[in-house]
Structure 1
């Protein structure tokens, strides 16, 4: 749960910081739109990478739980 909050905080900080930096920077409209598009792509990539890492961790955990459960059931059936 702490990691989820940390990731959400980091992503939120990136979004807010990027938006404020772009809005207060003296630039032409076309330059500002390009910066917004670039930052949006960066944020999308960060989010994608983060979600892929979480998916891998979840998959690994589920596999480990399945293996542990099978071993536990096997051990219990030998005892009974």
Structure 2
């Protein structure tokens, strides 16, 4: 895993841990706490999925740019 992937994973884990700890220390009933944890978990999962999709799109764009550059350079030498 490259550094960017490690950083994104660490940030996501930190956000998740902070959200869960904040909910656990809130003075709510157990059922309300479980509901909040469930909602936060869904939000975090959605955000992580979006982040990975954006990263995947960027990598695909980079791949296309590299392929284009390689083709152009190959044509120059042909």
- TM-score interval for Structure 1 and Structure 2 normalised by the shorter chain: 0.7 to 0.9
Q: TM-score, normalised by structure 1?
A: 0.85
1:46 aligns with 2:47: yes
Gaps of 5+ in 1: none
How many residues end up aligned between the 2 structures? 77
Structure 2: give runs of 5+ residues left out of the alignment. Answer: none
Kindly name which structure, 1 or 2, has the bigger radius of gyration based on alpha carbons: 1
Superposed counterparts of 1:1-80, under 5 Å? 1-77=2-78
Provide the alpha-carbon RMSD of the alignment: 1.3
- Compute the displacement of 1:4 (Å): 2.7
Q: Secondary structure at the residue paired with 1:26?
A: coil
Mapped to 2, the partners of 1:54 and 1:3 lie a distance apart of 10
Hey, which bits of structure 1, 4+ residues long, moved more than 6 A? none
Render the CA deviation track for 1:3-55: whole Å, top value 9, x for unaligned: 33332232111111011112211111110111011101110111011011101
Cα deviation, residue 2, structure 1: 4.4
Q: Which range moves more in the overlay, 61-70 or 15-24?
A: 15-24
